[in-house]
Homo-oligomer: A and B are copies of this chain.
């Protein structure tokens, strides 16, 4: 059993905090953030000490109509530069690209011509070969890369082991453990994190964690996995993200002891920009319907429909989920 690394009072210099508000939060509002919102979040993240800010997806314009989404579904170089200029800050810029839903061979510039520092490659476990192909290409362009393997709570441990065996010889920098369905208890999260860490550390790679808050465990799972050595930590302002949302940045920054992180600018951002989003009726966060799908380890789509329909007949919904297991 891997021991805990560091303790509750000390600083772990290897920790990197990634703000995924625009990317995962964008799933709540079709990426329709104002430029002011994104600019202020960018400035706030720099002041808060955030290490990476993820601006959205690099999605294929062939597969997704531009008119159906805000610009952060596509993250053009031009749109990024309109916010960050040449990004003369210590914070790095990340985007996500889904295996099979992006045109990575045409849509990425060589890294030295781009403000993007890191590309996060998201895939399901059966797409690892395709993910590796993308990672090698993006690495050859000069980008830092991560591989975010989704929905591993539904994969067998032999599948996970094979996936890690395939990824560890690749050029990927960070392998992410992703709790897509918010199904992990802290013991599950730390057990799997140890498996990822054992594989990754041998070859000098890092491990990240991306939580969902279906069982109100996003923050708990994040600090549990970090205590065993996970070092890339995703969070979003007020936990904004699809369905039950993510680990709240304010909880994470309040927990970390490194003085580089502070809460002040984030709190001001929340007051001025996040509360109005909620008032506009954009909905995310822990609620019973998401708890059910988390407890049952399944995709939150039915819970999202329940939310969209403004239903509150929790018992009927739960019975229907069980009927339809």
**CA separation between A319 and B8, bound complex, in Å?**
23
Are B217 and A185 closer than 8 Å at their CB atoms? no
Q: Are A291 and B185 closer than 8 Å at their CB atoms? A: no
Identify the 8 closest CB pairs spanning chains A and B, nearest first: A220-B220, A267-B315, A267-B314, A254-B295, A268-B315, A216-B219, A217-B220, A271-B314
Which B residues touch A227, using CB under 8 A? 187
Look across to chain B and name the residue whose beta carbon is closest to the beta carbon of A214.
B251
Q: How far is the CA of A291 from the CA of B218 in the complex (A)?
A: 15
Residue-wise interface mask of A (178-201) relative to B, using a CB-CB cutoff of 8 A (1 in contact, 0 not): 000000011110000000000000
Q: Which residue of B lies closest to A315 (CB)?
A: B267
CB distance from A297 to the nearest CB of B (A): 12
A-side residues, CB < 8 A to B, are 4, 8, 185-188, 215-221, 223-224, 227, 248, 250-251, 254-255, 263-264, 267-268, 270-271, 275, 288, 291-292, 295, 312-315, 318-319
Interface pairs (11), CB distance under 8 Å: A186-B220, A186-B224, A215-B219, A216-B216, A216-B251, A250-B291, A254-B291, A267-B315, A271-B312, A271-B313, A271-B315
**What CA separation (Å) do A218 and B217 show in the bound complex?**
9
Contacts of A263 in B (CB 8 A): 318
Q: Once bound together, how far apart are the Cα atoms of A254 and B288, in whole Å? A: 11
Chain B hits for A217, CB < 8 A: 219-220
Do most interface residues of chain A lie in helix, strand or loop, or is the interface mixed? helix
In the assembly, what is the distance between CA of A251 and CA of B291, in Å?
Answer: 7
Q: Which residue of B lies closest to A247 (CB)?
A: B216
Q: How far is the CA of A10 from the CA of B217 in the complex (A)?
A: 20
Q: Which residues of B contact A4 (CB under 8 A)?
A: 187
Q: Which residue of B lies closest to A4 (CB)?
A: B187
Chain B residues with Cβ under 8 A from A251's Cβ?
Answer: 215-216, 291
Docked CA distance A240–B263 (Å): 27
Asked whether B315 lies within 8 Å of A8 as measured between CB atoms, the reply is no
In the complex, the answer to whether B186 meets A288 with C-beta atoms within 8 Å is no
**CA A188 to CA B264, docked complex, whole Å:** 26
- Chain B residue at minimum C-beta to C-beta distance from A223: B185
CB contacts (< 8 Å) of A250 on chain B: these are 288, 291
Considering the chains assembled together, what is the distance between the CA atoms of A295 and B219 in angstroms?
13
B contact residues around A255 at 8 Å (CB): 185, 215, 295
CA distance A49 to B267 in the complex (A): 42
